[in-house]
Amino acid sequence: MPTARAASLKTQEKGPASVSTISTLEELEAIYGLPGESSTAKEINWVSPEYRALIEASPFAVLATSGPEGLDCSPRGDVSGFVRVQDDRTVLLPDRRGNNRVDSLRNIVRDGRVGMLFLIPGSGTTLRVNGQAELSTAPDLLASFAVKGQAPRSVIIITVDAIYFQCARAIVRSGLWKADSQVDPKGLPTPGQILAGLTEGRVGGQAYDDEWPERAAKTLW
């Protein structure tokens, strides 16, 4: 009679054999086919007037970076137009105050490849930008991004390699901008609860949550 361990090993051995994976581009293309012209013609390596309008309308973007420790994806937000189009190959992203982990900045210093996804509230269209980034601390540049007297400590300069809009299917499926899609935050764990649970109460807790609104208001920029 097989032991429990032997049965477990036998199940594990069978597991991978029942999973079909895609390991070559040929296999992938056989399933998905090739993109149509509308999917490829939209990709350019410069900021067109239409793409500039989307960037300037966006108050929120996600910045993706890569470094020796792996990948990072960081939310970035400010008033619409917070990402500045310097010219048709260059966009500027001020690094506003955050948690001071600077994961994105550490990655950029060591690997300049970045990707950005811009969202526009109320619009299904999103915009993707891929490029090469570097950090600037030029005083005049920092001062030009000051808000309420607070300048960023650095500005991310991105040279555009590829820019293109993404179709609205993901936004439509998710109902992202619909009022009835909003989640009641009372049903979610708070930052204070998460921290307390992960640190056995050393940090976080109700005091953290109570102090957050005032702390955030004083440190937005």
- The domain of 202 spans 183-218
Q: Give the pair of three-digit tokens for residue 113.
A: 């490849």
Give the pLDDT score at 28.
94
Find tokens 């939310």 and name the residue.
75
Q: Using CA atoms, how far apart are residues 20 and 10, in angstroms rounded to an integer?
A: 19
For residue 73, pLDDT over 50 is answered with yes
Over residues 112-126, mean pLDDT: 97
Residue 167 lies in a domain: yes
- Quote the pTM value: 0.87
Q: Which residues contact 47 (CB under 8 A, 6 or more apart)?
A: 55, 85, 87, 88, 89, 91, 160, 163
Residue 33 lies in a domain: no
Do 125 and 162 share a domain, yes or no? yes
Residue 151 lies in a domain: yes
**Could you tell me the pLDDT band of residue 4, with boundaries at 50, 70 and 90?**
very low
Q: How many domains does the chain have?
A: 2
Residue 6 lies in a domain: no
CATH code, domain with 130: 2.30.110.10
Give the pLDDT score at 11.
44
Over residues 19-27, mean pLDDT: 91
- The torsion region of residue 215 among left (phi > 0), alpha (psi -120 to 50) and beta comes to alpha
Residue 45 DSSP class: S
For residue 77, pLDDT over 60 is answered with yes
Model confidence pLDDT, tens digit, residues 158-199 = 999 999 999 999 999 999 999 999 999 999 999 999 999 999
Sheet with 113-119, strands from edge to edge, namely 70-77, 60-67, 113-119, 126-136, 155-166, 90-94, 84-87
